[in-house]
A and B are shown apart, each in its own frame.
Chain A
């Protein structure tokens, strides 16, 4: 069966830590940094559980700041 793998790259400086991508992800890939902040003081999002990503772009669809780049690959 074809296996779908995904990966996201988050623009940490643009991110405002709103958590909407975390909620939208169907496979619980994302989380907000609990201690680290960006230059504006936001706890930015990162792929905490990156192996689970399926590249569905749900996170990118709800991100108000266009912070997320999504990659998707199908292995035959």
Chain B
């Protein structure tokens, strides 16, 4: 199996991050509509796994899809043009950022949580019959693993012995819910119980992710059945841009947080309803969730995977600054080309 050196992995992570930051700027300017879920924090997963794919492998992604698409080599300008709603965008401006797809790359995203598993199982089935040695790969969140069709796929993929790799990106969250608080058992153990091969990796360590992905993919390609890679990583920019949970928990004295608090307090003291203990328990839980959101890794923090990789490359004597500059130039040029001919109504 081909492996990529740390510097190349870092470059891919940097591309994914720079792309997301560019998307954020466009979103803030009102040029991108809808729920914009950034994949900041997932770069090591995207780079570690997607660099291990070959032509002919099918990739099914989620609402948080751009890092994997960038690493897969989907052209950046059409992708940005799509997000900007242009008719020469990747999908003719019809799909938007949650439903990006490229037939040429055999990659498709869906905003239906859990749908990537059966879709990738289908890619795997087609690979088995049409492209020997190729695989289907699904990215899925930790929350998605509780979706009915996801659980059904755990069974189906074994029954049909599919060359399927599911990469569970465990960021701890499903919007405002701690995914673990509504999940029974451990996700890897769940898959193991169905007969899957399971590996776990730390999403802060891109080489670890790459190693694990490469081993699991090799098994899948040899027809040894489905595999799950469970990777933990931070959710740096909240559920989506403008996430009120993140906003309010980072600005506890802001007007939005105060308004929420006012509503909650007046309801909590209304007559009729739960007992005092129950009400107190609710308040404690809500405050706990906000505290978690507040403590979440931010950009450039010690636990930002990009920073971790940056330091690792530096330690190894790699040319971090050159890579950073090249990446920045690539993305800036893509954005400039993507904006060509678009009337910008900035104030």
Q: State yes or no: do A and B come from one complex.
A: no
Measuring CB to CB, which residues of chain B are less than 8 angstroms from any residue of chain A?
A: none
Residues of chain A at the chain B interface (Cβ within 8 Å): none
